[in-house]
Amino acid sequence: MTSTLTTQWHSLSFAAFILHEIMDHPQEDETPQSRLKQVGMMSVLYIMNQAHQALTISNIVEITKLTRMGVTETIEPLVKRGILTETFVKNSMGRGKARQFEIAPEIFEKLRSFQAR
């Protein structure tokens, strides 16, 4: 069973790692405001991930109250950076396609390697 302290350390190390990855490695034509939005979005996505919620545009819109375009504008650079992976799944009605995201497994692997030291 995971202790509360272990969970808190994991959350803190994830936040610090993401902050470092985004703020210290700006992409071309990226503003500081865009990077800050990405850090905030990753905080939301991490909490959703921990709660086993699907990381779909609709779910993110519901939680953040951003527009679909606002969510998409913040998510795209995270996919480009490789922090998030994107797949297409059937939408909730089962007819169309929906974009679903996942925090890249490599992120958690890097965190585990830091924690093992």
For residue 11, the domain's CATH number is: 1.10.10.10
Look at the chain and report how many structural domains it folds into: 1
Digit-coded pLDDT (tens) for 21-42? 999 999 999 999 999 999 999 9
Q: Read off the pTM.
A: 0.86
Digit-coded pLDDT (tens) for 69-88? 999 999 999 999 999 999 99
| Cβ(52)–Cβ(46) below 8 Å | no
Which pLDDT value is given to residue 52?
A: 96
48/41 Cα distance (integer angstroms): 11
| Cβ(40)–Cβ(75) below 8 Å | no
Please give the residue range of the domain that contains residue 30. Answer: 4-115
| Cβ(99)–Cβ(88) below 8 Å | yes
